[in-house]
Amino acid sequence: MNYETIIHQVEDRIARITINRPEKLNALSHLTIIELDAAIDDAADNQAVRVIVLTGAGDKAFVAGADIAEINTLCPVAAHETSRAGQLLMQKIHGLGKPVIAAINGYALGGGCELAMACTLRIAAQEAKLGLPEISLGIMPGFGGTQRLLRLVGPGAALELALTGTPIDANRAAQLGLVNSVVPASELAATVNKLATRLAASAPIAMQNIIRAINLGGESTLERGLEQEAQLFALCFSTEDMVEGTSAFLEKRKPEFKGK
């Protein structure tokens, strides 16, 4: 597929997807959402891809939000359709089964913060700012922000961030659990690449099962989560990767996982 607003590259089992609208601070337009959805589908279907890295072009923004020029024209019916399209993309990323790393290189606001929250892991540059400033536009988050922020940071911080709309710096985001770690901007690409490379060498089926178990556990009772964990644990024992991993440990060598 020829993309207009993103760059999609695959190398060394890592798909790198870059939102490429730096002149708009990588704002999520309708076309960008469509293209991101297609790129995520491609990465999901590509057996050579084990990890996805999402970032924004330039050094100012990951994604600074939705495209306000488009938002300004929406009627309630179109707004509902836009919200659902964004939510479905975020759900696809959240439940992909392959780790998705957000490399937050600058502003991650509104839809950009929602995109980052849908990812499996989030690494932020020290200069990054995160938040949900929709209240300042007379609207509210619509791409899953109220629900994912609640689950990541708890109701108190979620209400504070969504009601005030004030962005927070990367260090506070890390304190709240909104990002996993913070690094100097000059080290962001290398840090993310090191993490992605490590995950790409891990057992794909086991990673998929871990993501599924944790995602389900965050949305269900403990008993249901434990039952699902046991089932997924058992499924790992039907894979060649389990034999390879345990054999490599006993033989004191590095395992080579095939995703089978």
The catalytic site residues sit at: 114, 134
Q: Is 249 exposed, middle or buried (0-12, 13-18, 19+ CB in 10 A)?
A: exposed
DSSP 2-16: --SSEEEEEETTEEE
What is the edge-to-edge ordering of all strands in the sheet holding 168-169? 61-63, 107-109, 129-131, 168-169
Query: Measured between alpha carbons, how far is 87 from 159 in angstroms, rounded to an integer?
Result: 20
Q: Where are the beta strands (DSSP E) in the chain?
A: 6-11, 14-19, 51-56, 61-63, 100-104, 107-109, 121-125, 129-131, 168-169, 181-183
What tokens were used for 178? Answer: 């909104």
Q: Which residues contact 37 (CB under 8 A, 6 or more apart)?
A: 88, 89, 92
Query: Measured between alpha carbons, how far is 260 from 167 in angstroms, rounded to an integer?
Result: 43
Query: Measured between alpha carbons, how far is 146 from 150 in angstroms, rounded to an integer?
Result: 6
Query: Measured between alpha carbons, how far is 131 from 220 in angstroms, rounded to an integer?
Result: 27
